[in-house]
C-alpha cells in the first residue's frame, strides 16, 4: 500500500508538474500574444499614424501651393491682357496737335530696351512727321488673347484696327496683329516688346 501511495504521489506530482508546464506554456503563449499585440499597437501608434499624418500634411501643402501658383498665373493672364490692350491703344494713338504729349504719356507704359527704341523712333520720326503732315491716328483693339503668362512675365496677341488721318486726305484704315510682351514692374504690367505678327 505504501508503494501505491508513493506511486500515487509521484503520479500526482508528475501531473501537477505537467499542468504547471502546460499552464506556464499557455501563460508564455498568452504573454507572447499580448506582447505581440502591444508591439503591433506601438508600431501603428508611433509609426504608421505619424507617417500618414505627415504624408497628408505634405499632400495638403502641395495642393495649396499649386492652387496659389495657378491663381497667380490666372491673375497675371487677366491683368496682362488688359494692360496690353490699353498700352497698344496708347502707343498707336495720337492727334497731330497733341502728338508730343500723347506719345510721351504712352512711354509711361513701356520698359526696358523697347522704351529706348520707342523713344528714339517717336522723337526722330513720328512727332516731326505728325506735325509736318498733320497726321493723326486712332487705334482700337477689337480682340486680345493671352499667349503665355507667368506671375511676372506675359505675352499677349493683340488685334488692332487703326485709322490714320492726314490733313486734307480721307482717313485710311488698317488691321494688324501684334505680339506684345509685358513684364510686371512693381504692381504694373509694362510693355517690353511690341512686334508685328
DSSP 8-state assignment for residue 168 = T
Residue 23: all three cell numbers together: 499552464
CATH of domain 78-196: 3.10.450.230
Query: What is the sign of the dihedral through the CA atoms of 39, 40, 42 and 43?
Result: positive
Q: Which of 26-40, 64-78, 83-97 has the highest mean pLDDT?
A: 83-97
Question: Which pTM value belongs to this model?
Answer: 0.67
What pLDDT, on a 0 to 100 scale, did the predictor assign at position 53?
77
Say if residue 81's pLDDT is above 70.
yes
Residue 79: all three cell numbers together: 491683368
Amino acid at each position: 500500500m505504501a508503494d501505491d501511495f508513493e506511486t500515487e504521489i509521484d503520479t500526482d506530482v508528475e501531473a501537477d508538474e505537467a499542468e504547471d508546464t502546460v499552464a506556464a506554456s499557455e501563460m508564455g503563449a498568452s504573454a507572447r500574444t499580448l506582447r505581440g499585440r502591444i508591439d503591433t499597437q506601438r508600431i501603428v501608434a508611433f509609426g504608421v499614424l505619424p507617417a500618414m499624418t505627415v504624408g497628408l500634411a505634405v499632400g495638403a501643402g502641395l495642393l495649396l501651393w499649386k492652387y496659389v501658383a495657378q491663381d497667380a498665373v490666372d491673375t497675371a493672364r487677366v491683368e496682362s491682357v488688359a494692360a496690353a490692350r490699353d498700352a497698344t491703344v496708347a502707343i498707336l494713338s495720337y492727334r497731330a496737335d497733341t502728338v508730343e504729349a500723347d506719345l510721351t504719356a504712352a512711354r509711361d507704359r513701356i520698359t526696358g530696351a523697347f522704351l529706348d527704341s520707342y523713344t528714339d523712333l517717336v522723337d526722330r520720326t513720328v512727332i516731326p512727321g505728325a506735325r509736318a503732315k498733320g497726321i493723326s491716328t486712332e487705334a482700337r483693339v477689337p480682340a486680345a488673347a493671352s499667349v503665355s503668362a507667368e506671375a511676372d512675365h506675359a505675352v499677349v496677341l493683340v488685334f488692332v484696327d487703326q485709322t490714320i488721318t492726314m490733313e486734307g486726305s480721307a482717313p485710311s484704315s488698317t488691321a494688324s496683329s501684334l505680339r506684345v510682351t509685358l513684364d510686371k514692374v512693381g504692381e504694373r504690367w509694362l510693355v517690353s516688346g511690341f512686334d508685328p505678327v
